[in-house]
C-alpha cells in the first residue's frame, strides 16, 4: 500500500480499539522467547490490565525461527500471535533480520563487518553483518519471505517492523565487500575517475587516483583521511543499508497491505548518525523512532522535545510512532539513573504532544538474562507492586483518555507551525569531519541551543531540510549549516526574497556538497544574502567568551569582518575581533536575513528571539511561560489539544480554558498544574486563529 506517511498511522490506530474507533498505541517490544510459555498467560493478562494494545514481536528471534539454514520453526510464534489475538492485542511483527544467528556467521564469516582498523567483528552480540554481504542479504530475504507469507493474514498483525535500528552497531563497515560497493556507488555518482579526483580534491597530499580499483573506504591511515572520501563513504554506507531495508520491505509489501516501518534513532546524540533519515523516511509508511534520555543531561526533557520534533520533520509533519523509550533506567550509560516518579508519564506525553500517535517501550518484561537485564521494562523484575507498574497502568489510562488526539497535527499560535529549523544530514556529517577550526563548533549542539530557545519561549518548531518548501514558515533558522548545496543555498535565498525571515549562524555556507570551501568572504554561500563580509575565524579558548554590545556574551566562536549592507544589531566589544559584527540584519527582496556570528547564551538568545519573532510576526502558544514548563499543541478539524507539561518543582497557574482530558475536569479559565504533572486541554479553535 502506498501510504507515503499520510494515512498509515491512521490505519494502525483504527485497528487498536475494540470498536474500530482510533486509539493511541500503547505497549512495547515483547520478547516472549526469553521466557517459559507458562509466563505468556500472565503477560497477556497484565497487558490487558495496563491497556496495552500494540506489541512488537520477534525482533531478535532469527536463531529461534530458523535454527538451521532453511529450516524454519514457527510453532512458538504461531502460539504467541494467537494468544495476543485472543486477547485483543495487536502486533507490529518483525521480520527478525536484526541479529543473524551464530550458525549463519560461523558458516559465512565474510558476512561480518570490519572496523576502520581492519578488525573483523565477531558474532555473539547483535547486528553482526555487513550491509554489502550478499550472503546476509540472501538469508535476510529468505527469512522475510517466510515470515511475511506465513503471517500476512494473521488477525493480530497490523504493521511490520523491518530489522531494528539500522546501523546501530555495524556502521560504517570497512570490509572488502564495502570497498567494492563503495567503488560502484562512486562510479554511479561520478562517472569518471577524473570527476572523482576533482570532487575529492586529490591534488592535495598526492592522493590522485588512476583507477577505480585503487579506491578504498576511509580506513585508518597515518592522519586525516580525505574529508570528501569520508563524506561520500557516509553517504554510500547509508545507501547500502537502505538497499537492505528496501529489499526486505518490498517482500513484505508484496504479501501484505499493512504499513511497514523501521525504527529510527533520533539525533543519536553525541554519536555518529549512521544513516540519512531524511532519505530513509521517504521509504517508510510510518516513521517510527526510539528515544532514550541521556540521564545526566540537565535539560533532558528539551532534548526529548527536539528529537520528537525532528522525528515529525522526517514524517513530513504527519503523526508518527514512538517505537521505543524506557519506563525508567537504561543499561548502557555510565550511570543508569532511574526515572523520578511521574517522569515516565511526562516523557511519553511529550512525544504525543509533538505528534506521536502512541507511546511504546523497550520492553514489556525486564529480561532475566543477557546484556540488557538491568534495563527497565513495563513489567519490572520486582513485579506489579511497584512504582513502574503503577505508572504504566496510569499511562495506559491517560493514553485512552487522549484517544481523540490521534490523527491530529502539531500546530502553533497561528494555526500552523511558524518556525522551521534546518537540519540537513550532510551539514551535520560534514561539520563532524576532522581538522576544523574548533572542536566546540557542533552542528547538533548549536541546533539544540536554538531549539531550546524556542522551547523556552513556548514557540513550536518544525525541522526541515534546506531544500524543502519553506514558504509556509514565518521564520527559518539555519544553525551551523556548514555544508550547503547549491540548491539548498538558492532555496534559502529565494525564501528570504519572497518575504521570509532567515537566521544563519556562524560556520554556515562554508563548503559545497564536496566539502570544498566556497571562496570569497565568509559565510560563503550566504555572505551576499546576509550583507556581511567576514574574513577570519577566531574560535574561543575553552571557557572563554566574547563580550557583545547586546544579547550578552558569545561562546565558542567569534569572527573578524564587517557589514556590507547589513544593519549591525550587536558587535564584539574587546578582544581581537572588537568592532566586528556579531548579530546583523539585512533586508533582501521582501524579507530579512540575520547573521549570528557566535553562540549566544540562553538569556541573550531569548532577547534575540524576541526581536526575531517581532520582525517575523511569530507568537508563542502562551505568553510568559514559567521556567521548565512545556507547552505544545495538536489540532484537528477545528479542535485544539493544548499539552502542558510541568517539568519544574513548582506549582503553576496558566490562563487556559477548556476540558482537561486526563483528569476530566472543566477548567474555568485557569489551569492549575502541580509540579511534575501533565494536562491536556481540549478547546475549540477560535475563528480568528483558523487558517
Binding site for ligand GAL (CB under 6 A): 164-165, 168, 290, 292, 324, 330, 362, 372, 375
Q: How far is the CB of 326 from ligand GAL (least distance, A)?
A: 6
C-alpha cell at 248: 526486505
Contacts of 148 (CB under 8 A, 6+ apart): 95, 160, 251, 252, 254, 255, 256
Cell of 475: 521564520
Return the SS3 of 94. Answer: strand
Pairing assessment for the beta strands 652-654 and 671-673 based on DSSP bridges: antiparallel
Closest contact distance (angstroms) between CB of 330 and ligand GAL is 5
Can you state the angle between helices 602-616 and 443-457, rounded to 10 degrees? 70
Is residue 240 part of the annotated active site? The answer reads: no
Lookup result for grid cell 511475511: 148
Q: Which of 66, 303, 324, 391 is catalytic?
A: 324
HEC secondary structure over 264-277:
ECCCCCCCCCCCCH
When the beta carbons of 372 and 404 are compared against ligand GAL, the nearer one is: 372
Q: What's the min distance (Å) between Cβ of 119 and ligand GAL?
A: 23
Other Cβ atoms less than 10 A from the Cβ of 491: the count is 18
Instruction: Please state the closest distance from residue 27 (CB atom) to ligand GAL, in A.
Output: 14
Question: CA-CA distances (angstroms) from residue 409 to 357, 416, 641?
Answer: 10, 9, 10
**Nearer Cβ to ligand GAL, position 92 or 324?**
324
Q: Is 187 a catalytic residue?
A: no
Nearer Cβ to ligand GAL (245/641)? 245
Instruction: Give the ranges where 332-480 is alpha helix by DSSP (H).
Output: 343-353, 387-401, 425-431, 443-457
Q: Quote the least distance from Cβ 438 to ligand GAL, whole Å.
A: 31
Q: Which is nearer to ligand GAL, 168 or 525 (CB)?
A: 168
Q: How far is the CB of 131 from ligand GAL (least distance, A)?
A: 17
Residue 165 or 309 having the CB closest to ligand GAL: 165
Q: With respect to ligand GAL, which residue has the nearer C-beta, 285 or 290?
A: 290
Residues 467-472: contacts with CB under 8 Å, at least 24 apart? 467/424, 467/491, 468/420, 470/420, 470/495, 470/500, 471/495, 471/498, 471/500, 472/416
Q: What angle do CA 565, 570, 576 make, to 5 degrees?
A: 95
* Gyration radius of the chain over CA positions: 26
Q: Which is nearer to ligand GAL, 346 or 375 (CB)?
A: 375
Residue 584 contacts residue 566 (beta carbons within 8 Å): yes
Phi-psi region of 426 (alpha: psi -120 to 50; beta: other; left: phi over 0): alpha
Shortest Cβ 295–ligand GAL spacing (Å): 12
Q: What is the dihedral of CA 402, 404, 407, 412, to 10 degrees?
A: -70
Considering the candidates 66, 165, 513, 630, report the single residue annotated as catalytic.
165
Q: What amino acid positions are annotated as catalytic residues? A: 165, 324
Amino acid at each position: 500500500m502506498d501510504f507515503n506517511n499520510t494515512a498509515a498511522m491512521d490505519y494502525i490506530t483504527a485497528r487498536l480499539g475494540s470498536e474500530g474507533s482510533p486509539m493511541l498505541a500503547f505497549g512495547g517490544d515483547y520478547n516472549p522467547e526469553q521466557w517459559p510459555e507458562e509466563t505468556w498467560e500472565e503477560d497477556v493478562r497484565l497487558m490487558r490490565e495496563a491497556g496495552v494494545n500494540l506489541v512488537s514481536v520477534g525482533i531478535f528471534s532469527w536463531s529461534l525461527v530458523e535454527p538451521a539454514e532453511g529450516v524454519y520453526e514457527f510453532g512458538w510464534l504461531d502460539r504467541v500471535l494467537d494468544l495476543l489475538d485472543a486477547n485483543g492485542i495487536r502486533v507490529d511483527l518483525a521480520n527478525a533480520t536484526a541479529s543473524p544467528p551464530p550458525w549463519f556467521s560461523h558458516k559465512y564469516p565474510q558476512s561480518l563487518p570490519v572496523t576502520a582498523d581492519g578488525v573483523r567483528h565477531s558474532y555473539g552480540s547483535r547486528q553482526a553483518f555487513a550491509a554489502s554481504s550478499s550472503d546476509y542479504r540472501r538469508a535476510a530475504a529468505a527469512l522475510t519471505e517466510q515470515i511475511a507469507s506465513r503471517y500476512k493474514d494473521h488477525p493480530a498483525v497490523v504493521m511490520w517492523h523491518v530489522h531494528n535500528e539500522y546501523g546501530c552497531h555495524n556502521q560504517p563497515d570497512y570490509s572488502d565487500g564495502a570497498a567494492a560497493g563503495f567503488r560502484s556507488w562512486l562510479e554511479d555518482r561520478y562517472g569518471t575517475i577524473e570527476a572523482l579526483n576533482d570532487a575529492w580534491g586529490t591534488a592535495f597530499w598526492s592522493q590522485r587516483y588512476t583507477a577505480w580499483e585503487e579506491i578504498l573506504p576511509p580506513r585508518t591511515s597515518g592522519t586525516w583521511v580525505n574529508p570528501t572520501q569520508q563524506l561520500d563513504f557516509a553517504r554510500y554506507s547509508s545507501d547500502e543499508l537502505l538497499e537492505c531495508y528496501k529489499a526486505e520491505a518490498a517482500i513484505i509489501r508484496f504479501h501484505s497491505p499493512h504499513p511497514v516501518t523501521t525504527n529510527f534513532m533520533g539525533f543519536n546524540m553525541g554519536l555518529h548518525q549512521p544513516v540519512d533519515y531524511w532519505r530513509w523516511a521517504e521509504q517508510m509508511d510510518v516513521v517510527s523512532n526510539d528515544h532514550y534520555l541521556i540521564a545526566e543531561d540537565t535539560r533532558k526533557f528539551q532534548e526529548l522535545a527536539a528529537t520528537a520534533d525532528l522525528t515529525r520533520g522526517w514524517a513530513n509533519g504527519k503523526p508518527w510512532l514512538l517505537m521505543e523509550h524506557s519506563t525508567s533506567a537504561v543499561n548502557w550509560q555510565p550511570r543508569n539513573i532511574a526515572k523520578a516518579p511521574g517522569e515516565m508519564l511526562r516523557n511519553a506525553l511529550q512525544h504525543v504532544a509533538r505528534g506521536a500517535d502512541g507511546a511504546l517501550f523497550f520492553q514489556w518484561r525486564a529480561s532475566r538474562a543477557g546484556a540488557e537485564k538491568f534495563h527497565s521494562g513495563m513489567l519490572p523484575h520486582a513485579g506489579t507492586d511497584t512504582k513502574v507498574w503503577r505508572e504504566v497502568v496510569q499511562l495506559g489510562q491517560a493514553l485512552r483518555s487522549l484517544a481523540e488526539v490521534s490523527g491530529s497535527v502539531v500546530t502553533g499560535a497561528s494555526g500552523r507551525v511558524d518556525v522551521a529549523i534546518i537540519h540537513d544530514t550532510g551539514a551535520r556529517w560534514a561539520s563532524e569531519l576532522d581538522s576544523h577550526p574548533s572542536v566546540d563548533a557542533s552542528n547538533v549542539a548549536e541546533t539544540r541551543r536554538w531549539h531550546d530557545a524556542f522551547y523556552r519561549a513556548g514557540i513550536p518548531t518544525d525541522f526541515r531540510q534546506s531544500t524543502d518548501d519553506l514558504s509556509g514558515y514565518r521564520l527559518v533558522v539555519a544553525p551551523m549549516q556548514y555544508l550547503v548545496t547549491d540548491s539548498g543555498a538558492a532555496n534559502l535565498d529565494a525564501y528570504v526574497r519572497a518575504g521570509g525571515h532567515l537566521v544563519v549562524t556562524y560556520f554556515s555556507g562554508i563548503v559545497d556538497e564536496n566539502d570544498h570551501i566556497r571562496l570569497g568572504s565568509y559565510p560563503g554561500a550566504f555572505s551576499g544574502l546576509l550583507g556581511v563580509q567576514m574574513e577570519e575565524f577566531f574560535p574561543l579558548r575553552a571557557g572563554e567568551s566574547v563580550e557583545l554590545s547586546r544579547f550578552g556574551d558569545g561562546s565558542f566562536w567569534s569572527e573578524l569582518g564587517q557589514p556590507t549592507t547589513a544593519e549591525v544589531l550587536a558587535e564584539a566589544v574587546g578582544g581581537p575581533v572588537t568592532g566586528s559584527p556579531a548579530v546583523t540584519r539585512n533586508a533582501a527582496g521582501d524579507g530579512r536575513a540575520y547573521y549570528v556570528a557566535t553562540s549566544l547564551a540562553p538569556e541573550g538568545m531569548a532577547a534575540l528571539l524576541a526581536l526575531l519573532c517581532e520582525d517575523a510576526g511569530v507568537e508563542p502558544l502562551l505568553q510568559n511561560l514559567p521556567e521548565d514548563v512545556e507547552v505544545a499543541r495538536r489540532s484537528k478539524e477545528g479542535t485544539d489539544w493544548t499539552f502542558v507539561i510541568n517539568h519544574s518543582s513548582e506549582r503553576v497557574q496558566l490562563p487556559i480554558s477548556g476540558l482537561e482530558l486526563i483528569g476530566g475536569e472543566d477548567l474555568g479559565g485557569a489551569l492549575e498544574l502541580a509540579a511534575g504533572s501533565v494536562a491536556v486541554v481540549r478547546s475549540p479553535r477560535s475563528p480568528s486563529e483558523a487558517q
